[in-house]
Each structure stands twice: as structure tokens, then as C-alpha cells.
Chains A and B, each alone.
Chain A
Amino acid sequence: MDLKELTSFRMENMTQSTHFPAATLEAVAYPADGLLSDDLKLNRDADGNLSLESPPCPKSKTFFGRPRTNAAPAIDGQPSTLEAAIEKATALFRHAKHPLLGGLATDVYGMRAVMNLAESAGATIDHMNSKSSMKNILVMQNSGWYITTLSEVKNRVDLLLVIGTDIVSYFPRFFERVIWNKEAMFTENTAEREIVYLGGRDLNTTPGVSPTGKQPDVLPCDLDRVPEVLAALRAIVAGKPLKTDNVAGISREALEKLAERLKAAKYSVIAWTGSALDFPHAELSIQNIVGIVQELNKTTRSAGLPLSGNDGDVTAYNVSTWISGYPFRNSYRRGYPDYDPYHYDTSRLLAEGETDVLVWINSFNPERLPPKSNVPTIVIGHPAMQFEQAPDVFIPIAIPGLEANGAQFRSDSSVTLPLRKLRETSLPTLSDVLSSIESALKAA
């Protein structure tokens, strides 16, 4: 460490402890989780190290407690200045015919900058989780749906039907937060809530056991047979004859009984995650869920609960939509927003050599590396990212909700939470980096 670095390091630490002294921080949300539970309590020491005090949540604990690294920008794996890294990134952009802004794990402020750069550079945008999210977006664009949000579930649900997932593999605190909550405005005894898992195998259904020990009902089947089970359930709910005794190993009687329970419920909720429904054309199965809800709403109340939002995907498609009109898998290469959910898919664009520079934006989870490809790659992301193959340019950035202010959408898209800067950093924000590249491109 030379003198200049040492001085700046000391200065930084002074700023750190002056502006962000040791403290206990409350009402913090883990920004990369779709449920955005904002009941986290953290301890901060004078050096800006954070540790999770409560509640027990392994994902949040890792995220906030990850040791700070002295990450510096790098060109071809060699440390560089920020200016040189931005210059190199700009040069790659300038010569590209079809840049792809991928990953997009960021927040609202970051996405605004993404949209600006995409517009100026004629780039395509796609999110790291779009394979899952697109299943839901396609349903919304094709048939629509009736859905609900977390606080409604927490206060109203009397029958929860979960399709093809245990939820907790993706959202560990789901049952604790919105099913087994002690108090609810419209459910006298939440422990009496009924839980049914339909489809999938080897699910972790323990979180579905009520605090009083009431077991959930589990109707397992192979995941790739979920489509026919849902079609059968929809037919039964709609009063159509079903000429078979058994669908994918689930008896007709069991499905008829489930249909009756759904009709008898006052506020049933059918939950799924796009990621778990991992079979071709899962959007058609989601449409069957939507169809079941639609049928139930003729006489009682029911709503769907599509769960998503990890790594900021709900934020990414919301911001992209308000600025451009379309969600991700959207491109400005024709000079205007152009949406094509099949064409502008990251893996397809890379596999077919249609893009000539990839920018991988990844603010939250250092393990989400860019997809392997021969395309020149710029990574703008979490300072703890480690690469097997060094990207052409790496620029570490401040993490929203940890080292930068921001705003993040929750899974149900109705709630956006503020993200707060919790400690000092010398790293730039995503917006700083992208705006610099955009200005440099325009200046040229």
C-alpha cells in the first residue's frame, strides 16, 4: 500500500465511522430475496462490518456478513484504475454491433441507468432469472390472471394450494412470515389453515406443518406430469367430466376432494414459482392455475400467488416496462423498443453468436457468474466475485441496500421497499459506471 492509498484508506475509515458509526440497525431488508422481509436486525461495527442478529436466516446472514474485500477494477484479470476499466468497456461497446446487457441483478436506480445505456447504445436487455419470470409474464400478456399479495395471504388465506414446489427452497421464510403468523385480521386461528402440496417429489413439506402439528396434505407426482394434473383439476373444478380414475398417480377422488375444498374455502390461494415449474411450456400450466382461480371466483374468493423476485427480477421488468413499454428480453437495436421473448434470450443470443459484447450485471450474489461464452465480457458486479476465466473487464460496484441507497420490488410487485446505504465504500454505484460509459460513448 503506497502513501496515497494509505491516506485514502484512512480517510475512508474516518468517513465510515463518522457517518456510519457502530450501531444496531433495524427494519433492514435483504435486497436479493423476493419476499423482501424487512424485519432484519443487524449489528454494525466501527469499520462497517455487519452481522445479522435476528431472525435466523442463512441467506441474509451470508449476504450481510460477507467479509469486505479490497476489490479493484481489472482488465483481463490485471488490476486497473476505474478510469481505465471504463475506457476499455467503452471501447468494447463502441465496436459492438449488438451489445447485450445481461444479469441485471440490481435495483430501481441501477435499472434506470441500464435503460439509459441500452437506449443510447442500441443494446438488448435480459435478466439472469428471465427463464423463470417469462413464464409468468407470458401468462399475464396472454390471458391475465387474478392474483394476491403477501399481506392479504397473511390475513386471509384459509386454504393454501402449492403447485410443484415446497416454496421454502426458494423463499425459506414463506410459511413463517405469511402462513403461521400468530395473528391475522380475518382468520381466527391461523394454525387451522389448510395446506395442500400438489405435484413434485421429495419436497420439504415440514414447514407446511402447523404450529399445533396439523399435517399438510401431499399429493405428489413427477414434475413433468404437473401439466396433466392441473388440467384435470381445472376440469373438475369447472364441472367437466373426467374419464379416468387416476392422473399421474393421483386418484380422481383425491382431485375431486381437493376441488370441493377449494370451492368451500372462503379465500383460497394457489401459489407457485416459475423456477420450480421446470418443464417446457410451463406457461400453459400456469394458465391452468389461472383458469382454476377464475372458475372458483364465480362463487367464492380465490387468488393466485406467483412467487419470484430474487436477484431483483421483479424490479428489472417493472423499470424496463415503465421506461420502454416492455419487460426484459427487449432490445433497442432497431432504434426503438422491440420485445421478443424468444429471440432476445441470453442463452440463445450467446449460443448463436448474435451478440458481440456481454455486460453481466450482478450486484447481490457473487456466485452468479456470467454464462460461459467466447463473447467479450464486461462484468459489473459484487466485489467478492471470483472468476474461473477472467472477464475482459471487471468493475466492482457498491451493493444496493448495503453500500448504496436504492429501491427494490417485492415478489408481488405491489410493494417497493427503500434500500439504504449501511456503510461507506469507495466503490462506484452501477449507475455511476453505466452513466460514465454512456457519456463516453456519446462524446465519441
Chain B
Amino acid sequence: MLIKLTGGRVYDPAHQIDGKVMDIFVRDGRIIDRPGNNETIDQEYDLRGKVVMAGAIDMHTHIGGGKVNIARLMLPEDHRNSATTHTDACRAGCGHAAPSTLNTGYRYAEMGYTAGFEPALSPVNARQSHLEMCDIPILDKGGYAMIGSDDYFLRLLAAKKDQNAINDYVAWILHATQAIGIKVVNPGGINAFKFNQRALDLDEQNIHYQVTPREILQSLTRAVYELGIAHPLHVHGNNLGVPGNVETTLKTMGAVEGYPVHLTHIQFHSYGTEGDRKFSSGAAAVAEALNKHKNVSADVGQILFGQTVTASGDTMRQYANSGHASPNKSVLMDIECDSGCGVVPFKYKDQNFVNALQWAIGLEIFLLTEDPWRIFLTTDHPNGAPFTSYPHLIRLLMDKSFRNDMFTKLNLDAQAMSTLTSIDREYSLYEIAIMTRAGAAKLVGLHDRGHLGVGGAGDITVYTDNPDREAMFAKPDYVFKDGELVVRDGQVVKVTWGSTHTVKPDFDRSIEKDLKQYFDRYHTMNMENYKVSAAELEDDGRGKVIVQESKGRREKTA
């Protein structure tokens, strides 16, 4: 099958293409340079006047796994007003803040997204996460395995095992969980909460293991780097949501000693304690530090107003926040000497001082951070807002007058505490394409996605240029997934099953001796059953597993 996309205005930052009119050819799902003279074009799309980008990539979205399914299960009221019926292409489903897997795939694709990454895959729960994600149609997906509060790792650290042992364990986890990255959530804090510690700052010790979050961050950023994994350690820092946590965030950037690190939903970690209410924006300081530390990237975790649900591995902080639950219920769990989870429904209100300021803080971070290759567009779906609000968020970034109009509707005390209206920056289409395509692919380590160069996958989104950016990004004209037309005029017309992206760095397999002993002594499942095989994901015809290249194991750095 040979497809020609004719005459679109192309934004492909991976190749420094900024609005150039050009043709794109896709043969059998891959972008090619130019077909031979004797080849017949099977399909041609006239894209003159249209905007063409690679399919968008959400590098941090909670779409599969235990806590996401708990969110679905505990919120029937969220689903009742969002039911969808069977169409020619789609099965029925429902869900607004916590949509069903089917609706997750359909709605993402209808916004021009072709990949999404689950950022908090509990290793012990990896099988469920993948089984769920395999039931998300169209999208490619993958997960970041969450470690750092698991007892095996903390035992290694407490026993002062050398960095090689840590690296082998991290690599083993990536293989065992079919993940593409490593995440740490409230480093050591999920574990500390099981010992009844209620807070854990960067240099505070876990009372059982006597190790600090700083040590955890250092060993894991280094492990990820030395294993040659593209995606830097993905960090949900300590003290999420706590006024004054901007200090922790700034210290965390320095703690990793120059190793690459990604700080996720940084909006929730950028709070000061100024003002009458002891809650203020730390955005300027955070953006300045991001501009300075070239080894650090971040995604924002923007909040938008309305009903949503927060789902996190951070049991310690979710327990503390459960008093704010709306509706008033929460599910919290200690999980398998591995991790934890907390699911707390939340309703962000523009007349609430704290929520209004959170909204402004997120936007300030977007606008004050200079390098769009190191800042990413997320709402930490569904924690800040459901992913379906992305077109609205894009308009807030691209349209200053719209943003300022929205600002005037906020709680007045919050308005007085924010400098947002003094910022003139408007994101360009090129910068949006960096944040949501080229930059995201580079950050996650997807070598054949997020760009429109030769050899790239045929994941392509076509929009009609519209000064109302919300309308434009909500309804693409066409979305192609691996070269197949899956969305036309913002509606799914064909359902395909995407792939799962993984990374498989080398490691010393003899570590399984110690791991097996640990499982036999302390776990309730056999180590062999803990490991998820690629075949389990590929069974039932739900797409395939792709192993993305890693750079190869680097020498120990010290």
C-alpha cells in the first residue's frame, strides 16, 4: 500500500521543518523518501492548506493498571453521563475522568494522538497494566516501571550493594515488566508510610532502611544512565502538593549530580508559602532552575477546572489528601512489598483559591521554561484533568488573549498572587509539535515515532489551520496509524491495535539467584510468574511488542 499526502504544511521539529509545504509518502506503514517512477500511488490525500504533524505522544498518562481500574470501578457516577454507543467502527463504552480502555483509545486517536505511556506501572502489577493497555485500541503504549519503594531495592541500598548490582536489578525489572523506562514515586516514601512515617523530605531517612530519598535518586538516575536507556529516570518527587515543596524540587534537581532526570507533573511540586494563606507560586524559581539545568526535563501536570480523579502510587501523599476527596471517598492500598496506590476523586474549582493558583502555576511554568524540548504538555491524566482537555490547554498556551480572559474568571485572591498576565509568550505550532511529538519521542526513546522522516512510522495527524486552536486540535481531518487511516473528521473510522514499546538492556542474569531466594522467602508468588513475557501481550491478537534500541551498557561512571 502506497499513500501520498500531498502539499500539506509540515511541522517536523526532529528534522527542523517548520511549516514547509511538502509531500509525504507512506509505504506499508513506513514513511519513505519518494517512490520509484514505476510505482503506483494507491491513495492520495490532498492536504493543501492543511497542517501536518507526526501523531502526538502523551509521555505521561495513567491509562492502564491497578489504580486506573480502581478509578474506573469506584466512579460509576463519572461514567453515567459519558456513555457512548456502538458505531460502525467502535464498540460502546463510557468514562470521562476514568474512561474505559476502548474509549481511551478512541478519544486519544480522535485528537491526533497515536501513543501514550503509563507512568506508574507497579512491577508486581505489570501483567494487569499490559493486559489493560493491550485493550486500548489504535494507540501505541508502554510503561515506566515504578521502583524505589520496593523492599528488594531498599535492601540492596541499605546493604550498600555496589552500583553494578543496582544496575542489574533495574535492567531485570525492565525485562520482567516489559517496560520502557523507570519511575520513582515519592522516593522511599511509599515504603516509609507502611512504617507509619507521615512525611519524607529529600534528606530524611526511612526509619527501617536508614536510606534517604537523595540516595535513592542518585542510585537510580545513575543506573538508568549507565544502562544506556533513553528515558531518564522519571521522578515524582517527595512532598507532592505540600506548600513550600518548591524547595524540595530545586534540591532534587541538584541531588542527581548532573545525571539526566525527568521531573514529572512539576506543577504539583512548585508551591511556595508566601502570602496570607501561606500558599504561593514557585513557578518562576522552578522555570529558572529548569532553564539552567540542561540535564533536567519536566512535564507540567496542568490542572483544569472540573471533575476528575487523582490516581497515584504515592500512598503517603494521597492519604494526606484524601480529606479533600470529592465525592468523598478514596481507595488506598499498600501493595506487595512493592509499592502502593491512592485513588482520590477531585473537583478543581476556579473559585477555590488553591485550585485557581494551581492553574496559574502550571501555565507560568509552561511559559517561563525556555526550551520546549525539555518541557512536556501533560495534565498527568487524570490527576490534573482528563486528557480530553488537551485542545483547551493548547489554546491556553497559544493564545494570550484567551488565556487572560480565562484568568479574569479566577478567584480574586489567586489572581492577586499570580504574574501570569504579565507573560506575553504564545507557543507556536512548531513548539507545540516539539512538546507533543519530537521532544516526547526523544524523551521516551521512540526512535521511529514523533517524526516524519524516512523510516518513521506512518503515525501522522492532519489538521485544518484554525485561529481557534482548541477547535483545531480537537478535531483533526485525518489521523493515520502505521499508515492506515484511523480517524476522519475527528471520528474513528477504523480500529487497529497498536504496539507496546519496551527496552531490554543487557544485565548479568546471575542476579536471579538472589532474586529467586528473595521471592521464595518473602513473596506470595513465584519469581517466574512475576515475569511478564512478550507472548502474553501478543496473545489474543492485540498488537506486538517492539524493543526500542538502548545505547548499550556504559562503563560504570565512578
- A residues near B (Cβ < 8 Å) are 26-27, 29, 35-39, 108-109, 112, 116, 119, 137, 140-152, 154-156, 177-178, 183-186, 266-267, 297, 300-301, 303, 317-318, 321-327, 332, 335-339, 405, 407, 409, 413-418, 431
30 CB-based A-B contacts, threshold 8 Å: A140-B331, A141-B73, A144-B331, A146-B319, A151-B336, A151-B524, A152-B336, A155-B522, A183-B522, A185-B337, A185-B522, A186-B208, A297-B319, A321-B69, A322-B100, A324-B93, A324-B94, A325-B79, A325-B95, A332-B92, A336-B92, A336-B93, A337-B79, A337-B83, A413-B66, A414-B128, A415-B525, A417-B127, A418-B127, A418-B532
Inside 8 A of B343's CB, which chain A residues have their CB?
144
Within 65-87 of B, Cβ neighbours of A (below 8 Å) are at: 66, 68-70, 72-76, 79, 83-86
Selected contact of A405 from candidates B72, B101, B523, B539, CB within 8 Å:
B539
Q: In whole angstroms, how far apart are the Cα atoms of A210 and B132 in the complex?
A: 40
Least CB distance from A304 to B in Å reads 10
Residue-wise, chain B 525-558 has the 8 Å CB interface mask toward A (1 for contact) of 1101100110010011000000000000000000
Q: With A146-B332, A337-B93 known to touch, is A414 a contact of B122 (CB < 8 Å)?
A: yes
- At the interface, is chain B mostly helix, strand, loop or mixed? mixed
Contact indicator B69/A322 (Cβ below 8 Å): yes
B417 on the A face (CB < 8 A): no
Q: In whole angstroms, how far apart are the Cα atoms of A330 and B524 in the complex?
A: 32
Q: In whole angstroms, how far apart are the Cα atoms of A323 and B524 in the complex?
A: 28
B89 on the A face (CB < 8 A): no
Inside 8 A of A339's CB, which chain B residues have their CB?
76, 79
Q: With A27-B529, A300-B196, A321-B69 known to touch, is A148 a contact of B333 (CB < 8 Å)?
A: yes
Q: With A154-B522, A409-B128 known to touch, is A141 a contact of B334 (CB < 8 Å)?
A: no
Contact indicator B135/A109 (Cβ below 8 Å): no
Given contacts A145-B332, A148-B333, 12 further A-B contacts (CB under 8 A): A108-B131, A141-B76, A144-B74, A151-B338, A154-B523, A155-B151, A177-B524, A185-B337, A322-B132, A325-B79, A416-B131, A418-B529
Inside 8 A of A418's CB, which chain B residues have their CB?
127, 529, 532-533, 536
Contact indicator B86/A335 (Cβ below 8 Å): yes
B330 on the A face (CB < 8 A): yes
A137 (CB) vs chain B CBs: closest residue: B73
Inside 8 A of A266's CB, which chain B residues have their CB?
196
Q: In whole angstroms, how far apart are the Cα atoms of A339 and B100 in the complex?
A: 14
Inside 8 A of B292's CB, which chain A residues have their CB?
none
Give the size of the chain B interface in residues (CB under 8 angstroms). Answer: 68
Contact indicator B69/A337 (Cβ below 8 Å): no
User: Across the A-B interface, how many residue pairs have beta carbons closer than 8 Å?
Assistant: 190
Q: With A325-B95, A337-B93 known to touch, is A149 a contact of B529 (CB < 8 Å)?
A: no
Q: With A112-B540, A119-B86, A414-B66 known to touch, is A325 a contact of B93 (CB < 8 Å)?
A: yes
Least CB distance from B125 to A in Å reads 5
Q: In whole angstroms, how far apart are the Cα atoms of A405 and B521 in the complex?
A: 27
Contact indicator A417/B334 (Cβ below 8 Å): no
Q: In whole angstroms, how far apart are the Cα atoms of A26 and B127 in the complex?
A: 20
Selected contact of B336 from candidates A150, A301, A417, CB within 8 Å:
A150
Contact indicator A414/B336 (Cβ below 8 Å): yes
Q: In whole angstroms, how far apart are the Cα atoms of A116 and B135 in the complex?
A: 11
Inside 8 A of A145's CB, which chain B residues have their CB?
331-332
B124 on the A face (CB < 8 A): yes
Inside 8 A of B69's CB, which chain A residues have their CB?
318, 321-322
Inside 8 A of B523's CB, which chain A residues have their CB?
151, 154
